[in-house]
Amino acid sequence: MAEKFAIELNRQGVAELLKCDAMQDGLKEIAEKVAGKCNAELGEDGYSVNDGKGKNRAYASVKSSTPHAYYHTLKHNTILKALKS
């Protein structure tokens, strides 16, 4: 029978990891790849990346920045499909 064990996270260390520059750079890189795939499918630059550091963690998001991209995402789930690939 397997032994039981407990993991105790260092909360301060995890908080630092979530806000570090390397995490922000990694998230931005992924978001730029997703936006690039979306723009390639759309045929124009209709998707943009927003990134930064919040109170608790770094973030990056992809959004449709033109009406054409917005409706394309509604009809084809472009961002979700690009994120999965």
Could you state, in order of their start, the residue ranges of all structural domains in the chain? 11-84
Contact 60, 36 (CB under 8 A): no
Phi first, then psi: give them for residue 51, nearest 5 degrees: -140, 160
**What are the pLDDT digits (tens) for 2-36?**
788 899 999 999 999 999 999 999 999 999 999 99
CA–CA separation, 76 and 34 (whole Å) = 15
Tokens standing for residue 1: 């029978």
* Single pTM value for the model: 0.83
